[in-house]
């Protein structure tokens, strides 16, 4: 199978998949808010969903490492994800069921994302990879426009809960078309395996810094996306179809933004990174509902540029760190961002302003990382940028080791305390039994 045919299949998958993803992901927050969920509920829900995905990511990696052709794993994960998302409106009446189902759906989405990213890195290289991402973003945006128009008409013209059932069912059917296309792709093998790198290798440092940058910016994006819907519906009293119009504006912008950033140098992407730190404050301080459409344009341009930059950085080091690890890092960054934004945002949800400030702070952290540690967008010299990147890399490794040591030691101490408490309870029960036996013997 030629590369062009494979590229065409992957682009078509993005079209049908983009329609399904747009409806399920954009309608779910609206459905939950209309069903009575507050911003803190959504933050906590996303926190648990991201945490569940992180715990299973390493298991997914081990599974993919032992599979000769990951195409079939990708297909199973693809279909499972769609089946789980279509059940969300059915169980939206119960917060307990929604937490479990939503976490499972996000987990399946993470699994699909890892397999898809790994497939892209295995099948395409460098410029071809960047062209693939740009084309997929463009056609996915076109499909998303159609999806948003569908959702807008359904929400504005229909009444009651049935409109949500109709939208989810339609998305599920279209999503299965994208799954079917994967049957016609060539065998997907991990041609690029992870290699043993020196303790401080340039590729290792670059991959880690890119990961930190992406997690920071996705945390900003996740936090903003979670609280933006309640801000419009509850604070500004906007109708539910206005939220869909907001999403439609973002997706139309994505079509032009993907082409715009594709033709720009990597250095110009610093503007996109800076935009993500400004957008949350614009959302909070804009009381006029219509003004949010303009903010959505600005936000979408920033988000597309940031994602394309991060994906290109991973594509540049895929030969050293391996296709699977590149795909794993790119996909799990979203799960980690959901976890961070969900739990920290929930802790600050007693005041909505603090949550928006948190989103802006996440964006500012990503901007600082980019301006000093990413050579392509740094404002310092390349030598200084590499020096700061190594310092940040060593600091992150040291922090990771400290956290893991603390978690392990805490777990051991907790287990010992549980064992001690159980032992004391057992001795107490034995004492009581002997006491009652003595009384009965008398």
Q: Kindly report the CATH number assigned to the domain that includes residue 284.
A: 1.20.1250.20
Task: Let me know if residue 292 belongs to a domain.
Answer: yes
- CA diameter of the chain: 95
Of 84, 43, 381, 96, nearest in space to 219 by CA: 43
Report residue 72 as tokens: 């079939």
Residue whose tokens read 């590149």 = 326
Task: Let me know if residue 392 belongs to a domain.
Answer: no
List CB contacts of 440: < 8 A, sequence separation 6 or more.
none
- Domain of residue 51, residue span: 3-379
Alpha carbon distance 194, 323 (integer Å) = 7
Alpha carbon distance 114, 136 (integer Å) = 16
CB atoms within 10 A of CB 400: 11
Task: Let me know if residue 330 belongs to a domain.
Answer: yes
Of 56, 99, 61, 133, nearest in space to 312 by CA: 133
Do 210 and 314 touch, CB atoms closer than 8 A? yes
Task: Let me know if residue 364 belongs to a domain.
Answer: yes
Residue-wise pLDDT tens for the chain (442 aa)?
A: 577 788 888 889 999 998 999 888 888 888 888 777 777 888 888 888 887 777 777 677 778 777 777 888 889 999 999 999 998 888 877 777 887 888 888 888 888 888 888 888 777 776 777 778 778 877 887 888 888 888 888 888 887 778 888 999 999 999 999 999 988 888 777 654 444 444 556 777 777 777 888 888 888 888 998 888 888 888 888 877 787 788 788 878 877 887 787 777 777 778 888 888 899 999 999 888 888 989 999 998 888 888 777 777 766 666 666 666 666 776 777 788 888 888 888 888 888 889 999 999 998 888 888 888 777 777 777 777 777 677 776 666 555 454 555 555 565 776 777 777 888 888 878 877 777 777 766 6
Task: Let me know if residue 91 belongs to a domain.
Answer: yes
List CB contacts of 182: < 8 A, sequence separation 6 or more.
9, 13, 71, 74, 75, 78
Task: Let me know if residue 256 belongs to a domain.
Answer: yes
Task: Let me know if residue 412 belongs to a domain.
Answer: no
Do 139 and 133 touch, CB atoms closer than 8 A? no
Task: Let me know if residue 394 belongs to a domain.
Answer: no
> Residues 197, 202, 208, 212: what is their CA dihedral angle, to the nearest 10 degrees?
170
Under DSSP, is residue 195 helix (H, G, I), strand (E, B) or coil? coil
Alpha carbon distance 15, 144 (integer Å) = 8
Do 135 and 11 touch, CB atoms closer than 8 A? yes
The per-residue pLDDT for 172 is 92
Per the structure, how many domains does the chain have?
Answer: 1
Alpha carbon distance 26, 147 (integer Å) = 10
Helix-, strand-, coil-residue percentages of the chain, each rounded to 5: 85, 0, 15
The per-residue pLDDT for 393 is 64
The per-residue pLDDT for 151 is 86
Structural element, H or E, at residue 99: helix 95-123
Helices 291-321, 202-230: axis angle to 10 degrees equals 160
Under DSSP, is residue 215 helix (H, G, I), strand (E, B) or coil? helix
Alpha carbon distance 105, 162 (integer Å) = 21
> What is the Cα gyration radius of the chain?
24
Do 210 and 313 touch, CB atoms closer than 8 A? yes
């Amino acid at each position: 199978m030629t590369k062009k045919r494979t590229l065409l299949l992957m682009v078509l998958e993005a079209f049908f998949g983009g329609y399904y993803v747009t409806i399920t992901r954009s309608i779910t927050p609206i459905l939950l808010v209309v069903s009575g969920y507050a911003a803190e509920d959504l933050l906590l829900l996303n926190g648990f969903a991201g945490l569940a995905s992180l715990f299973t990511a390493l298991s997914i990696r081990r599974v993919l490492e032992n599979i000769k052709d990951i195409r079939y794993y990708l297909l199973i994960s693809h279909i499972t994800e769609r089946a789980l998302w279509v059940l969300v409106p059915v169980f939206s009446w119960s917060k307990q069921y929604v937490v479990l189902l939503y976490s499972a759906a996000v987990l399946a989405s993470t699994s699909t994302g890892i397999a898809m990213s790994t497939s892209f890195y295995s099948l395409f290289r460098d410029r071809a990879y960047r062209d693939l991402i740009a084309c997929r973003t463009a056609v996915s945006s076109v499909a998303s426009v159609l999806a948003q128009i569908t959702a807008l008409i359904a929400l504005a013209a229909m009444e009651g809960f049935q409109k949500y059932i109709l939208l989810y069912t339609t998305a599920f059917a279209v999503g299965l078309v994208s799954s079917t296309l994967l049957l016609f792709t060539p065998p997907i093998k991990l041609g690029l395996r992870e290699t043993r790198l020196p303790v401080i290798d340039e590729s290792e440092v670059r991959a880690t810094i890119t990961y930190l940058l992406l997690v920071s910016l996705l945390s900003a994006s996740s936090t903003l996306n979670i609280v933006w819907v309640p801000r419009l519906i509850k604070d500004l009293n906007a109708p539910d179809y206005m939220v869909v119009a907001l999403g439609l504006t973002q997706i139309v912008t994505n079509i032009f933004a993907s082409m715009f950033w594709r033709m720009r140098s990597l250095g110009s992407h610093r503007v996109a990174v800076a935009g993500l730190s400004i957008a949350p404050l614009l959302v909070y301080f804009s009381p006029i509902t219509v003004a949010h459409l303009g903010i959505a344009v600005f936000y979408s341009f920033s988000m597309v540029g940031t994602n394309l930059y991060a994906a290109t950085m991973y594509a540049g080091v895929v030969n050293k760190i391996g296709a699977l690890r590149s795909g794993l890092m790119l996909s799990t960054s979203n799960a980690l961002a959901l976890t961070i934004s969900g739990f920290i945002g929930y802790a600050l949800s007693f005041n909505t302003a603090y949550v928006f400030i948190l989103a802006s702070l996440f964006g500012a952290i990503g901007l600082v990382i980019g301006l000093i540690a990413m050579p392509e967008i740094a404002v310092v010299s390349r030598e200084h940028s590499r020096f700061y990147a190594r310092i940040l890399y060593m600091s992150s490794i040291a922090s990771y080791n400290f956290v893991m040591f603390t978690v392990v030691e805490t777990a051991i101490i907790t287990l010992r305390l549980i064992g001690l408490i159980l032992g004391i309870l057992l001795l107490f029960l034995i004492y009581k039994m002997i006491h009652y036996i003595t009384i009965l013997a008398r």
